[in-house]
Amino acid sequence: MNKIILKKQLSADVYEMTVDAPLIARARKAGQFIIVQIDTDWGERIPLTIADADNEKGTVTLVFQTVGATTHKLAAKEPGDFIENILGPLGNPTHVEKFGTVVCVGGGIGVAPLFPIVQAMKAADNKVIVIIGARNKELVIFEDRMRKYADELVVVTDDGSYGRKALVTEPLKEFCSGVKPDMTVAIGPPIMMKFCEKATAEFDVPIMVSLNTIMIDGTGMCGGCRVTVGGETKFVCVDGPEFDGHKVDFDNMMTRMRAFKDREDIDHHNCHIGLGLAPHAAAGAAK
């Protein structure tokens, strides 16, 4: 049983929760995720990335979008309520080192799991440039937190209601063609990550992507999260969630994810950042 300490509504259907989980808070590293189960008897298991943690308080911060039955049930809970089971930290941590200049790109609520990576990259003495993208001003999240760590922050919106009217790939290409970054990181809808990969490939810039595939057990047993990376089959939950973006077969991944596009009554198609995998819900979240 994990007690909910704090709850915030970030936008119409995006929530932030701070949950008591001292063991996970101490052990987690940037890029890792947890499996949440709301009800022990019939509740499904959904993967969510740890957006932040406080070792002293023993809490972890989760950000999710209400897509299916389970995320709606989670959103209905209030501070003082409990989450039945939280398993983690799972997955491999982000590879962090002193690269030099790192450009971190987040789309939609993919900005939330990008935050601990930005923190870690800055702590490793990198120059960190952050690009945040959303459909409109109301959907921009974590901007103030990012400003505390980013050497430069660029905000873009599809409709131009806030920041610059552009897709995230536009400033990304500008940075790649200027002072060439030593590493890039992208988290967001699959279509966004696909085009970030294409943008960096033009300039021979490396890119890490955090994949948001279908995931059920989170331990490599179900096979639902399998992807093709460098011509080999990988499982996002145990081999990832981060991979060399230039080796990921995004088209194959998106085809597999579309198999669940009409299953909006459940959250099995919820990705590890709680973004929601139905293409019509995710593709427009940020590009």
Domain tally, the chain: 1
Looking at the chain, the whole-number percentage of residues with pLDDT higher than 90 is 77
Q: What is the pLDDT of residue 9?
A: 95
Q: What is the pLDDT of residue 270?
A: 45
DSSP state, 100? S
The enclosing domain of 190 has a CATH number of 3.40.50.80
Is residue 175 included in any domain, yes or no?
A: yes
The residues that bridge with 232 in the sheet, in sequence order, are 229
Inter-residue contact 35 to 268 (CB < 8 Å)? no
Is residue 7 included in any domain, yes or no?
A: no
- In sign, the C-alpha dihedral spanning 238, 265, 115, 52 is negative
Is residue 179 included in any domain, yes or no?
A: yes
Is residue 153 included in any domain, yes or no?
A: yes
**Spans in the chain with pLDDT lower than 70:** 260-287
Inter-residue contact 33 to 63 (CB < 8 Å)? no
Is residue 57 included in any domain, yes or no?
A: no
Q: How far is CA 5 from CA 43, 81, 83, 120, in A?
A: 21, 8, 11, 25
Q: What is the pLDDT of residue 220?
A: 82
Q: What is the pLDDT of residue 224?
A: 84
Q: What is the pLDDT of residue 96?
A: 97
Q: Which domain holds residue 203?
A: 101-213+220-250
Is residue 53 included in any domain, yes or no?
A: no
Alpha helix stretches (DSSP H) within the chain: 22-27, 69-76, 111-123, 143-147, 169-177, 190-201, 236-239, 250-257, 279-282
pLDDT in tens, 125-178: 999 999 999 999 999 999 999 999 999 999 999 999 999 999 999 999 999 999
Q: What is the pLDDT of residue 170?
A: 97
String of DSSP letters for 140-207: --SHHHHHTT-SEEEEEESSSSSSEES-THHHHHHHHHSS--SEEEEES-HHHHHHHHHHHHTTT--E
Q: Name the residue among 64, 69, 75 with its Cα closest to residue 35.
A: 64
Q: What is the pLDDT of residue 261?
A: 59
Inter-residue contact 191 to 254 (CB < 8 Å)? yes
The b/e string for 217-228 (b: 16+ C-beta within 10 A; e otherwise) is: bbeeebebbbbb
DSSP state, 58? T
Q: Name the residue among 66, 146, 144, 152 with its Cα closest to residue 114.
A: 146
Q: Phi-psi bin for 204: left (phi > 0), alpha (psi -120 to 50), beta?
A: left
Is residue 15 included in any domain, yes or no?
A: no
Q: What is the pLDDT of residue 259?
A: 73
In total, the chain counts a number of residues equal to 287
Residue bearing tokens 């096979």? 223
Q: Which two tokens stand for residue 27?
A: 């052990």
The half-sphere exposure of 174 on its side-chain side, counting CA atoms within 13 A, is: 10
Q: What is the pLDDT of residue 139?
A: 94
Is residue 135 included in any domain, yes or no?
A: yes
